[in-house]
A and B are shown apart, each in its own frame.
Chain A
Amino acid sequence: MTWLNDTLQGIFVGGGYALTAVGLSLMFGVMRLVNLAHGDLAVCATYLVTSMMAALGVPFLAALLLMLPLAFAAGAVLQLALFDRALRTGPLAPLLVTFGLSIMIQNLLQQTYSANVRGVPAGSIDVSAAHLGGLVLPGLSVLKLALALVVIGGLSAALRFTGWGRRVRATSDDVAIARLQGIRVRPLFATVTGIAIAAAALAGTLGAVTTGVYPTLGTLTLIFAFEAVVIGGLGSLWGTLLGGILIGVTQVLVSQVSVPYATLASQLLFLLVLVVRPEGLFGTGEAAGQATGAEA
């Protein structure tokens, strides 16, 4: 029964990874942009929530809900002001730009908030665990997994069934031809990045309730998110969920044997997937080179 419970805890942990990673996956899938500042932006949002709680005296949940539209706006502005330009320059520029952004954010946070770990008091939603037989259901972790399911399910449905989603997929297939259909690509990409950053901000802030927050936390956040995306298959949102859960389960199971090896084990899983199935579990290989039409 303990291993069953450990697996369950791993799934919860993985839900958090997936919620962080889904934005990374979305941005790569749509724009072929690897955002190396993804984790740092999530950390920024977490600090913003703590600052708003202190300055406005609002509870955690209110600050969290206030922060989300700001995170969306920040993502949209970054896309319009920075990433669009970088994408036009070629595949290397976005990496350099987002890497530079990551370093800038970490240094700014260090200047403003010091390097110390800061707790994130979750107040009313600081959650106790429910028990069900031998299984532990920690409220916050359950919430993160549920949010991951809602965000990924909602995004998948929006991409599949709405006009916005159709335009996003068309643009992802062929930007030049999409523009000729009247699609305004810049605002479209801005919404994509806005959603991606808002989801990361949500995940990062909820995660920090357990771990606390510090300026360089974003690097670790990025690594796990990146691994979840690659394991699941580039550009597949459900794959990213699975990737996150596999990492979480691996870490929790291994940590029962040896805590220091838990992180190493998830890296080994990542390398194993790269060797055995480089396109990822749900990957089709289409992200790397678009499938072209069959001929009559």
Chain B
Amino acid sequence: MTTLTVAGLDAGYRDFQALFGVSLDLAEGETVALIGANGAGKSTLLMTIAGALRPWRGRITLDGLDIAGLPDHHRARLGIAIVPEGRRLFPSLTAEENILVPTTGRGGPWSLDALYDLFPMVAARRSHRAGLLSGGEQQAVAIARALAANPRVLLMDEVSLGLAPAVVDGFYRLLPRIQQSGVCILLVEQDIDRALAASDRALCLLEGRVVMAGDSAGLDRDRLISAYFGAPSAPRSSATKTGPAPVPPDKPVPPGKPVPPGKRVPPARPVPPADPEVPR
């Protein structure tokens, strides 16, 4: 039974469209990796599912209920939680207060004690202001805050961003414990190898469109990297249960990146699957 279904989703900012007919689904307890270059629309997709952005078109259903028209606080109560890109803790609150903020009225396995058991480093810093914690500690608090809502669906946006590889390893070692709690996860991760290792299935997003999808174990890594960059030789994904026929990635061009007609230029910055060590 699918828990979350996204079908034919268009979304964006004012008059800029960032997502084009995106479809995906998450089965009960499943982890799906969302891969794509900077600016591909990964964060936009997560924020649209969470409700911070209004979808322009398309359906989002949670356990069969259409939630596309519901406000974000209502979706949180229905069981959608997000670890936002850049963590976005409440800086003036302590670590523990951050974790106590979610007011979803949802019961489940993730009590404060269970979360401190998962993240002992947060327990040790519980009464420190979140704004003064280290990046790794902040990320742990952000994950704990999302779990504290006892969600059905956990959206994780670039947990590795700006963190030392050893710290990131620590988070990915904890991921199975989170998965075992029954939540399904949509995982955005720049490091392709990490993403595939941690997930059941993977989707590749290119300039707002799903250009490849498949089982993480069976995905051809080279084809995935081509899809990631939108190289001309990028093979079209074989049809999967996740959605529409892939669209050739030749239409949308983010502003400020003019592309001569008919010619594809790889996105400027990202070089996957490097470990991003971006100071923030």
Contacts and interface: CB of A to CB of B under 8 A. Distances in A.
Interface of A: 163, 166-167, 169-170, 172-174, 176-185, 286, 290-296
B131 A292 contact: yes
A19 B130 CA distance: 32
A182 B52 contact: no
16 contacts: A170-B101, A173-B92, A174-B90, A179-B51, A180-B50, A180-B72, A181-B101, A181-B149, A182-B104, A182-B149, A291-B92, A292-B131, A293-B132, A293-B138, A295-B280, A296-B135
A35 B200 CA distance: 53
Contacts of A185: 73
Nearest to B50: A180
Nearest to B89: A293
B100 A163 contact: yes
B156 to A, nearest CB: 13
B101 A183 contact: yes
B93 interface: yes
A294 B133 contact: yes
> Which 4 A-B pairs rank lowest in CB-CB distance, beginning with the nearest?
A296-B134, A182-B76, A173-B90, A182-B104
A213 B174 CA distance: 65
A293 B91 CA distance: 7
A233 B39 CA distance: 40
A227 to B, nearest CB: 25
Nearest to B155: A180
Interface string B91-103: 1110001101111
B131 A294 contact: yes
Nearest to B87: A293
A166 B100 contact: yes
A167 B101 contact: yes
A182 B87 contact: no
A139 to B, nearest CB: 39
Contacts of B104: 181-182
A150 to B, nearest CB: 25
A246 B152 CA distance: 54
Contacts, number: 99
B184 interface: no
A175 B134 CA distance: 23
A191 B137 CA distance: 33
A244 B163 CA distance: 46
A177 B91 contact: no
Interface string B118-155: 00000000000011111111100000010001000000
Interface string B76-91: 1100011010011111
Contacts of A293: 87, 89, 91, 130-133, 135, 138
A80 B217 CA distance: 52
Contact of B103 (A172, A176, A183, A295): A183
A170 B88 contact: no
Contacts of A179: 51-52, 71-73, 76
B86 to A, nearest CB: 9
Given A182-B104, A183-B73, A170 B279 contact: no
B87 A166 contact: no
B84 A294 contact: no
A184 to B, nearest CB: 5
Nearest to B94: A166
A42 B47 CA distance: 42
A30 B132 CA distance: 21
A238 B231 CA distance: 61
Residue of B90, B162, B163 with highest tally of chain A CB at under 10 A: B90
Given A182-B103, A293-B131, A293-B133, A286 B138 contact: no
Contacts of A180: 50-52, 72-73, 76, 81-82, 84
Contacts of B52: 176, 179-180
A141 to B, nearest CB: 35
B114 interface: no
A166 B93 CA distance: 8
